Amino acid sequence: MGIPSNVEEIFASAYSAAIYISRIMKLPPPKNKVFVIGESGIESELREEGIPFIGGTDPAMRRDITPADFEGLADGSLLDPDVGVVLAGLDFHINYLKLSTAFQYIRRGAKFLATNTDSTLPMNRTFFPGAGSISIPIINMTGQTPLALGKPSQAMMDAIEGKFQLDRGRTCMVGDRLNTDIQFGVEGKLGGTLAVLTGVSKKEHWETENAVAVPAYYVDQLSDLRAAAS
């Protein structure tokens, strides 16, 4: 997209989740495997941290559920006894088999984590279901709320601060969603928060009394910053 950057400057929620599992949870083997609901990006981050995982992009999970699956999930014969975490993220191939498998792992004691709680995903000038929407059926089934490792989780803020040694007072959070981006910056006590109106949230969303977070500044679009700088 023409934005100068490198890999070290990108701190995504999947990376935050992998760091949390490997360096905070430190699950002892053998019950240290992760069942993934998500795409290859999550798998890459887990692989980089040396975390064993199943599910995800495995073709065996991208199919219709069968009577044999129901039986195997019910008696546990289709479940990996080493799974200690269910990690849910954005999954373009979500299906009944994946949801049923995740449910059975959590029922048996696996920890429930989510990369982020974004309800929608802005793409192609409209919105689609986000990673947070993928978790909703599992929340309904289990009655549990996952620990989310993306914005506005302050565990993610602490990890970013530790990696980049940033000065919070001189840092501004820029984003288009109040309940993730702006709330992330406000709760993280950053020096500023800037809402961009080309995405999810609009002015009327924070001009109400019960707004989840209020940005310190806003612009119609990111290119306005270039005009202001000149």
User: Of all residues in the chain, what percent carry a pLDDT higher than 90?
Assistant: 72
pLDDT over 70 at 71, yes or no: yes
Model pLDDT, residue 125: 85
pLDDT tens digit sequence for 148-200: 998 998 988 988 887 888 899 999 999 999 999 999 999 999 999 999 998 88
Count how many Cα atoms sit within 13 Å of the Cα of residue 223 in the half-sphere of its side chain.
2
Torsion angles phi and psi, residue 196, rounded to 5? -110, 130
User: Of all residues in the chain, what percent carry a pLDDT higher than 70?
Assistant: 99
Residue range(s) in the chain whose domain bears CATH number 3.40.50.1000: 7-148, 168-229
Model pLDDT, residue 161: 86
To which H or E segment does residue 36 belong? Answer: strand 33-37
Model pLDDT, residue 230: 67
Q: What is the pTM of this model?
A: 0.82
CATH number of 168-229: 3.40.50.1000
Q: Mean pLDDT for the chain?
A: 93
State the pLDDT confidence band at 41, using cuts at 50, 70 and 90. very high
Judge whether 25 and 177 are in contact, CB under 8 Å: no
Q: Which two tokens stand for residue 5?
A: 């950057």
Enter the DSSP assignment of 188. Answer: T
Q: Which two tokens stand for residue 71?
A: 């039986």
Judge whether 210 and 188 are in contact, CB under 8 Å: no
Strands 192-196 and 217-219: parallel
Q: Which of 90, 15, 7, 102 is nearest to 55 (CA)?
A: 102
Name the superfamily (CATH) of residues 7-148.
Answer: HAD superfamily/HAD-like (3.40.50.1000)
Listed in sequence order, the residues at least 6 apart from 108 whose beta carbon sits closer than 8 Å to its beta carbon are 76, 79
- Distance of alpha carbon 94 from alpha carbon 56, whole angstroms: 10
Q: Which residue has the higher pLDDT, 228 or 203?
A: 203
State the pLDDT confidence band at 25, using cuts at 50, 70 and 90. confident
Q: Which of 126, 146, 127 is nearest to 135 (CA)?
A: 146
**Edge-to-edge order in the sheet of strand 172-175:** 172-175, 192-196, 217-219
Q: Where are the beta strands (DSSP E) in 82-175?
A: 83-88, 111-114, 120-123, 126-129, 147-148, 172-175
pLDDT tens digit sequence for 89-146: 999 999 999 999 999 999 999 999 999 988 998 888 899 999 999 999 999 999 999 9
pLDDT over 70 at 21, yes or no: yes
Model pLDDT, residue 128: 95
pLDDT over 80 at 228, yes or no: no
Overall average pLDDT of the 25-51 stretch: 94
